Chain A
Amino acid sequence: MWEEIIIKPFINILLLINSTIGNFGVAIILFTLLIKVVTHPLTVRQIKGMSATQELNKDPRMVALQAKYKNDKEKLQAETMKLYQEMGINPLSQLGGSCLPLLIQFPIMIGLYQSLTQSNPTTPLELVTLSKNIYPWLHNIASVVPINSQFLWMDIGQVDKSLVLFGFGVPIMAIVVVATSWLQSKVMAPPPDPSNAQAASMSASMNIMMPLMMGFICLSTPSGLALYFAVSNILGIGQYALLGKANWDNIIPGRKPALQPSKGASRPRVGSKLEVKPEPPVLPARVEQAVVEDASSKPVVKTKKANITKPVKSGVHKTK
C-alpha cells in the first residue's frame, strides 16, 4: 500500500525528471522544489494554525487563567475549555490547523527519503528492487541505468567526503546541512517570550541539537539525502519569507530579536476572570521595541514605529 501510493509515484517522477535533465543531483533539487510547491497550501495552513495558537495563548484572559490556576492543572484545563467555548473556538480545529498539515507532510517526507535512496541503485539487489518499482509504461529499466550521479563535487550515491584535508575527508554537505538547518530554525523561531524562560531555553536547545543531529545523519548517508535536506531547508526559509513569517532579527547581527509581551503584563479585573479589558497590543515582530513594567505592573510599550493590532472576531489578534 505504502509502496503503491507513495514510493512508486515518487520514484517514477524522480526518474522522469532525471531522464529529462540527465543529472540525478539536479533531479533531486527539482523534485524537492516540486514537493514544496505541492505541499505549500499545507505549509501555509500549518503556519497560520501555529500563529493562531500562539496568539490565543497570549490572550489576557488565557494569561489570567494560567496565573490563577498555575497549581491546579485540572481546573486550568476546565476553565480553558470554558474560555474556548465563550470565544467560540473549537480547540480541535486549532490543533488540526497546525498539526494536521504536519501529519500529512510527514509521510511525504519519509517517502521522499525512501524514493531518493531507491531511485539511485548502488547494488544489484537495489537494481532488482528498482526494476519492480518503475512503471513499465513510463520507464524502461534499460534506459534508466546508468544514472548520472555526479553532481558538483559529489557522487550522489556515496557519502560526501570528496574534499580531503590532511588525510581526512571533509563532509562538506553535512556542514551545509547543519548551517541551513540552523538558519531555518532561527528564521522560523517565533519572537522569544521573556516570561517563559523554560520554553525559550528548550527552544534554544532544539535550535542547536536539531541541526547537529541532521549533520550527524548526513555523515553516514549518501550525499543525495544531504542535498535534499539542504535544498529543503533553503526552500523552507524561502516559504517563510514569502509568507512574511521569517524572523530575520534572529540571524542578522546587531539586531535584537523582537520580544513577545510578558504573560504577567496584564491583570484580570476583579470579579470576572474572563472579562479582562482592554487587551494589550501585540507587539509586531519586526519593530525594535522595549517592554518596561511600571511599579503597578502595568505594561508600558515603547515602540519606534507604531503598529498596534486590533482584536478579530475569534478573539485572536492579527498583526497588520
Chain B
Amino acid sequence: MKKKRITLIFAVVLIGVLLTSCGALPTPNWPGLTVDQDVVYVADGGSLVAVYGAGTQAGTQKWRYPADKLDPNKQMYAAPTISNGLVLAGSENANSTVFYALDAALGTEKWTFTEAKGKWLASPVVSGDLIIAPNGDGTLYALGMDGKLRWKFAAKAGFWATPVTDGELVYASSQDRNLYAINVATGKQVWSVALDAAGLYTPILENGTIYLSTLAKQVVAINPKNGEKLWTANLSGTVFGSPVLVGKNLFIADESSKLYAFAASNGAKVGEWATPGPVTATVAAFSKGVLVVCEAGDVIGFSEAGEKIFSQKINGKLYTRPVQVQDVVVVAVTAPSGGQIDKLLVAYDSTGKEAWSLPVPK
C-alpha cells in the first residue's frame, strides 16, 4: 500500500513537473539580428552571440552571453542595439524581464534595468546619451548610459516596434493604433496620429519622411513635423515587415507572396513581383538590390528593377530581417515548430554563394 502511494505521488509530481516545464518554456520568437561595423549580433533565446561577419575571421564567434552555456532564464529575442561600446538587449522569462547593457568588446554585463513589466520585443534606439527602449507593457523607457531611468512614456497598449529618432523627437508606433512623436529631452508627447491598425513594425525615417507599414495591409508616409499623412499605399496580403528604401523606391513584401516597390515620393506602385512563398520578414537592401527571405526558407536576391539575381533554399523558417556586412548578407534561421535546424546564421555573397555559416549554439 505504501509503495502504491509513493508511486502515485511520484506520478503526480512527474506529470506536474512535465506540464510545468511546458508552461515555463518562454514564448518563442524569431532571432533578433543586428550588425555593427563588421560584427553581427544575434539574440536567439537562451544566448546572445557576437560573430565576426567579414574579414579573415568571418563566421567565427567573438563572444557569447552567457559565456559558458545557454541560460533558460535569459531569453533574448529582440535585435540588440550597439552604441557607446554597449550592447543593449532585453530578455524575459516567466518570472522577470531584464534589460541588459553588455560590454561590446567582451560580452560581459555592465548593468541591468528591471523596472519593465512586459516583454522586450523590439530594439532600443539611442539618441545622444539617452537609450529609448520600447517594452510590451506599453511603456517607452528612457535610460541614461548608466542604466538609470530618465523618463518614461505610457501608451494604451504594448510597444512591439523599434522607434526612430531625429535627435529632437522620437517616433514610436504602438499596438494601440497610434504613432507617437515624443520629445527626446522631456518624454512629453508632441503629437500622435491614428493608424488604421496596430503599429507593430519599425518605422523608417528617410529624407524627412516617416514610412511605416500596418496590419491593415498598408504602407503610410507621414510628415514627422506634425503627423500629417502624406500618402497611403495598399498591399494585397497581410504585412509583417517594414518597408526599406533602396534608391528612390520603398520595397516591401507580404504574405500573398508578392514583393512591391512604391515611389517614396508619392506612394505610386512602381513594381510588383512574385516571390516563391509568403514573406513575413522585412526585406533587406544589399549591394545589388534587395534580399527577400520567404517563410518557407527561400532566399531570393532581386535587382532594383525586380530581376531575380539568385535563389537559395535554407533548411528552416525565415522570419528575421537579414543584415548586410560589407559584401555579404546574413540570414538568421528559425527552427520550425517541433523541428530542428543545424545553422543559426548563413551568409551569402552578392552572387548568392554561401560565404559562411554559424552552427546553432549548444
A interface residue numbers (CB < 8 A to B)? 122-128, 131, 141-143, 145-146, 155, 158-159, 161, 197-198, 201-202, 205-206, 209-210, 212-213, 216-217, 219-221, 225
Contact = CB atoms under 8 A, between A and B. Distances in A.
Contacts of B200: 124, 127, 145
A205 B8 contact: yes
B197 A145 contact: yes
A187 B48 CA distance: 51
A146 B118 CA distance: 15
A208 to B, nearest CB: 9
Contacts of A158: 117-118
B216 A217 contact: no
B56 interface: no
Contacts, number: 101
Interface string B152-164: 0000011010000
Contacts of B121: 123-124
Residue among A128, A131, A146, A212 facing the most chain B CB atoms (10 A cut-off): A146
Interface string B23-44: 1100111100000000000000
A142 B197 contact: yes
7 contacts: A125-B30, A128-B295, A145-B200, A155-B117, A205-B8, A220-B95, A221-B23
Contacts of A213: 12-13, 15-16, 19
A145 B4 CA distance: 50
A122 B20 contact: no
B28 A123 contact: yes
A229 B20 CA distance: 14
B217 interface: yes
Interface string B1-13: 1001100110011
Interface string B331-356: 00010000000000000000000000
Given A217-B20, A220-B24, 7 more contacts: A124-B200, A125-B29, A131-B238, A145-B175, A158-B117, A221-B23, A225-B23
Contacts of B197: 142-143, 145
Contacts of A225: 23
B240 interface: yes
A214 to B, nearest CB: 8
Interface of B: 1, 4-5, 8-9, 12-13, 15-16, 19-20, 23-24, 27-30, 77, 94-95, 117-119, 121, 136, 157-158, 160, 175-177, 196-198, 200, 214-217, 238, 240, 255, 280, 295, 319, 334
B175 A124 contact: no
A158 B138 CA distance: 13
A142 B196 contact: yes
Contact of A128 (B20, B94, B157, B319): B319
B4 A198 contact: yes
Contacts of B27: 122-123, 126
A206 B12 contact: yes
Contacts of B15: 213
Contacts of A141: 215, 238
Nearest to A143: B197
Which secondary structure dominates where chain B touches chain A? loop
A128 B12 CA distance: 35
Given A131-B238, A146-B176, A209-B12, A202 B4 contact: yes
B176 to A, nearest CB: 6
Contact of A122 (B117, B119, B157, B334): B119
The 10 closest A-B pairs by CB, nearest first: A213-B16, A142-B197, A221-B23, A146-B175, A220-B24, A123-B29, A142-B215, A220-B94, A146-B157, A209-B12
A116 B13 CA distance: 24
A131 B94 contact: no
A198 B5 CA distance: 9
Nearest to A198: B1
Contact of B214 (A142, A143, A220): A142
Nearest to B214: A142
Contacts of B5: 201-202, 205
A310 to B, nearest CB: 35
Nearest to B176: A146
A162 B99 CA distance: 20
A142 B20 CA distance: 33
A124 B319 CA distance: 10
Contact of B20 (A197, A205, A216): A216
A161 B160 CA distance: 22
Contacts of A198: 1, 4
Contacts of A131: 238, 240, 255
A205 B9 contact: yes
Contacts of A220: 20, 23-24, 94-95
Nearest to B157: A146
A205 B1 CA distance: 13
Contact of A125 (B28, B176, B215, B216): B28
A105 B117 CA distance: 36
Contact of A123 (B119, B198, B217): B119
B309 to A, nearest CB: 27
B171 to A, nearest CB: 19
Contacts of B176: 146
Contact of B319 (A125, A155, A205): A125
Contacts of A197: 1
A45 B148 CA distance: 62
Contacts of A206: 8, 12
Contacts of B319: 124-125, 128
A145 B215 contact: yes
A142 B216 contact: yes
A145 B198 contact: yes
A159 B95 contact: yes
Nearest to B201: A124
B255 A124 contact: no
A125 B95 CA distance: 21
Contacts of B160: 124
Contacts of A212: 16
B15 to A, nearest CB: 7
Contact of B16 (A125, A145, A161, A217): A217
Interface centre among A141, A197, A219, A225 (most CB of B within 10 A): A141
Nearest to A162: B117
A155 B121 CA distance: 17
